[in-house]
Amino acid sequence: MIFKHVYIPFLASALALTSCGSDKHKNDYSLALNEVKMGNLKVDRFADIQVLRYNIKDFHKLSLDQKKMVYYMSQAGLAGRDIIYDQNNPYNVEIRNCLESIIENYRGDRESENWKNFMVYSKQVWFANGIHHHYGMDKIIPNFSRDYMRILILETGAKINTNTMEVIFSKTLEMKRKVKDADVDMIVASANGFYGEGVTQQMVEEFYANKSDSTDLHPIELGLNSTLILKEGKLYEDVWKSGGKYGKAIDKITFWLAKALLVAENDDQKAALEKLIEYYNTGDLKIWDDYNILWAKSTKGDIDWINGFIEVYGDAIGRRATFESVVQITDFEASKQMSVIAENAQWFEDNSPLIDSHKKKEVKGVSYKVVQVASESGDASPSTPIGVNLPNNNWIRQEHGSKSVSLGNIISAYAEAGGEGMTEEFAYDQEEVDRARNHSYLAGKLHTALHEVVGHASGQINKGVGQPAVTLKNYASTLEEARADLVGLYYIMDQKMIELGLITTLEVGKAEYDGYIRNGMLTQLQRLDLGKNVEEEHMQNRQLVASWAIEKGASENVIAKIAKDGKTYYNITDYDKLRVLFGDLLKEIQRIKSEGDYEAGKSLVEIYGVKVDQVLHQEVLNRVKPLDLAPYSGFVNPIFVTDNDKNGNIINVKIDNTQTFEEQMLYYGKTYSILE
């Protein structure tokens, strides 16, 4: 499996918009706030985005070496920050540097409408790690003129090439970072930096078809860490490694990883870090697999990390991975509460509605933790996941196991910053609103855990069938996320949840069903411009699941579509029958994955996950507008400050959690700009 983020930001934002949480959760979080005097949780608001702040609970209780470990790993992550900008589009680093130079040096009128629009654009670029919207993938068009930009450049001495300037303002060049449309050449149409000039989708598919071996029991993730370019008429992988592409940034990453190695908590961590450094130095994907095995088995200690070229959502055909880093500290109390899910992974597998031959006979090495995020970078920041399950390579998961984490302080921050407006607007009746108010926070956490721990760890591919990236191609990510979501949906309404002490009532499961159908059919449409189809994989996944269930349950009116006071609502009339439908769809999607049935997978996604009812879309946009809620959220990170003795040795590491979004982005630009 290679698709592990629960929702890169969608459900996280949905959580912020719809959940209230119990007093217990709020009390826990208010205690955590005392760890750092951090002011208002909400840091900034611009365009369709709000920026929040998260807290690190109990950092002061760590030993000095543990604090150093967090500091060094955070620096390793930030050293790779430039990489995501270049991966998203080759013009991004130059544009960002120009914008930052202007902001630092402009001495003119900063109260004018033009300047305010310039700052909104700059913040959008920072938030998206480039000139394309972080979620919608469309190019962000400035709300100021080319002439005004020229004035700013002249007055500040900022540098930018003529061609790059044209890219910023053109309405025909570099228009979409990733295009997911089966009717076009998705490689040629996408503006990301994963493929060189002249490379076509057919070329890429044939290139990797010739390299793939369906009989290989331990295949590497072909194409994961390289740019595919044409060189003298032949395709060539420009590998991301020391001495290769992104080598300057990678050398900085390994510099900090080597420091972290000296303060690792145990031998397992040391072995994993040594192998990660070796991978970065060689670019060898076999070594990447070796590292992931060591990392998956390294489950002891308080500190852990995610670092590398990992998720393939940014590539239209799901081959190439973006750089990301997450540094995390185990929240032992919260982990203990939810660890029962991992402990019962085999029960979930044995009792799933899958075809028996598609079930794992032995679920290995599943671990689950709730963590406190300490730092994020690359594709994990400013927009962050709230749950992760890794490694992605299917055979590693099957033979060696996987790690699942929920980012507890991120979830808490979303919940603290959220409100009830969306629920009250789109819920069918007061019963549904009350159910969300009482149960949606816990429901969201539990669904995240089931999705990551059980969902992505479940099922197996038939012998002789290739990896999903090969068999299911550009539909693999959507189908995998749907599959994991369905596992969570199926079990959250199971009495086993009560037996395990995770919930006391199935009203929690009903709250998740309500919210899932609302999101899949209505509220997520606020993220699309009118007239657009659904292209982002997580959005496709949710619409697919919801619309399929509505259609298949139509004869018994399991989910009723209701018009009331000129507004559309979806009301679940039979939760038990809906659970059966979710199980049926789970069974089919697992069959598609297990058998590599491309045509069936394509049919599911294209029929149920892509097309949008434009009348309904307009209605949703009209209903959302008065609420004045930002549909997207992200975070500034704490800054780690070291105290050093006269010899330069670190004697303490402290947290500064006071930066504004603008201050942080300018600080990062000065401190971590490595690529040109």
Q: Count CB atoms within 10 A of the CB of residue 68.
A: 21
Mean pLDDT of 596-602: 97
pLDDT at 8 over 50: no
Phi and psi at residue 6, to the nearest 5°: -60, -50
Name the residue with higher pLDDT: 418 or 351: 351
Q: So what's the pLDDT on residue 40?
A: 65
pLDDT tens by residue, 505-556:
999 999 999 999 999 999 999 999 899 999 999 999 999 999 999 999 999 9
CA–CA separation, 40 and 24 (whole Å): 21
Give the containing element (helix H, strand E) for 402.
Answer: strand 402-407
| Sequence letter at residue 200 | T
So what's the pLDDT on residue 467?
Answer: 85
Q: Residue 39 has what pLDDT?
A: 43
Identify the domain containing residue 540 by its residue range: 10-81+245-627
Residue 270: predicted pLDDT = 98
pLDDT score at 22: 29
Q: Is the pLDDT of residue 32 over 80?
A: no
Residue 457 domain flag = yes
Please name the amino acid found at residue 646: K
Q: What is the pLDDT of residue 419?
A: 67
Q: What is the mean pLDDT of residues 636-653?
A: 97
pLDDT surpasses 70 at 13: no
Task: Answer for the pair 10, 537: CB distance below 8 angstroms, yes or no.
Answer: no
Q: What is the mean pLDDT of residues 113-136?
A: 97
Q: Is residue 373 part of a domain?
A: yes
Residue 420 — very low, low, confident or very high, per pLDDT cuts 50/70/90?
confident
User: Of the given ranges (31-45, 47-61, 271-285), which has the lowest mean pLDDT?
Assistant: 31-45
Residue 25 has pLDDT above 80, yes or no: no
Of the chain, the end-to-end C-alpha distance in Å amounts to: 34
Q: What are the angstrom distances between the C-alpha of 394 and each of 121, 456, 559?
A: 40, 10, 35
Average pLDDT, the chain: 91
Residue 169 within a domain: no
Number of domain units in the chain: 1
Q: Does residue 26 surpass a pLDDT of 90?
A: no
**Is the pLDDT score of 11 beyond 60?**
no
Burial label for 251, CB within 10 Å (0-12, 13-18, 19+), is middle
Residue 642 in domain: no
User: 473-497, pLDDT tens digit by residue?
Assistant: 999 999 999 999 999 999 999 999 9
- For residue 116, what are its two tokens? 């305010």
| Residue 7 scores a pLDDT above 60 | no
CA angle 212, 215, 219 (to 5 degrees): 55
At residue 10, does pLDDT exceed 70? no
Q: Please say if the pLDDT value at position 2 is more than 90.
A: no
Contact 266, 301 (CB under 8 A): yes
The answer to whether 179 touches 190, Cβ cutoff 8 Å, is yes
Listed range (369-378, 416-425, 642-651, 660-669) with the worst mean pLDDT = 416-425
Question: What Å distances lie between residue 155 and 103, 110, 122, 143, 670, CA to CA?
Answer: 11, 13, 17, 20, 20
Residue 29 scores a pLDDT above 70: no
Domain membership of residue 454 (yes or no) is yes
Q: Is 192 domain-assigned? A: no
Chain segment 59-98, per-residue pLDDT in tens: 999 999 999 999 999 999 999 999 999 999 999 999 999 9
Q: Classify burial at 23, counting beta carbons within 10 Å of its beta carbon; exposed 0-12, middle 13-18, buried 19 or more.
A: exposed
pLDDT above 50 (res 17): no
For the stretch 208-226, pLDDT in tens is 999 998 889 999 999 999 9
Provide the pLDDT for residue 117.
98
pLDDT above 90 covers a percentage of the chain that reads 84
Per-residue confidence (pLDDT) for residue 398, from 0 to 100? 87
Mean pLDDT (whole number) for 552-572? 97
Average pLDDT over residues 594-602: 96
Q: Is 600 within a domain?
A: yes
Residues in the chain: 676
- What are the Cα distances from residue 313, in Å, to 8, 224, 322, 477, 619? 9, 11, 8, 7, 29
Q: Tell me the pLDDT band of 336, cut-offs 50, 70 and 90.
A: confident
Task: Find the range with the poorest average confidence among 294-303, 505-514, 527-536, 572-581.
Answer: 527-536
pLDDT in tens, 258-271: 999 999 999 999 99
**Helix 146-156, helix 92-105: angle, nearest 10:** 60
Confidence of residue 379 (pLDDT cuts 50, 70, 90): very high
Angle between helices 285-297 and 267-282 (to 10 degrees): 160
pLDDT higher than 50, residue 585: yes
Coil, helix or strand for 134?
coil
CA distances to 262, 405, 415 from 502, in Å: 39, 17, 19
Q: Give residue 18's pLDDT.
A: 29
Is the pLDDT at 111 greater than 70, yes or no? yes
Task: Give the pLDDT confidence score for residue 157 in this predicted structure.
Answer: 97
In a domain, 92, yes or no: no
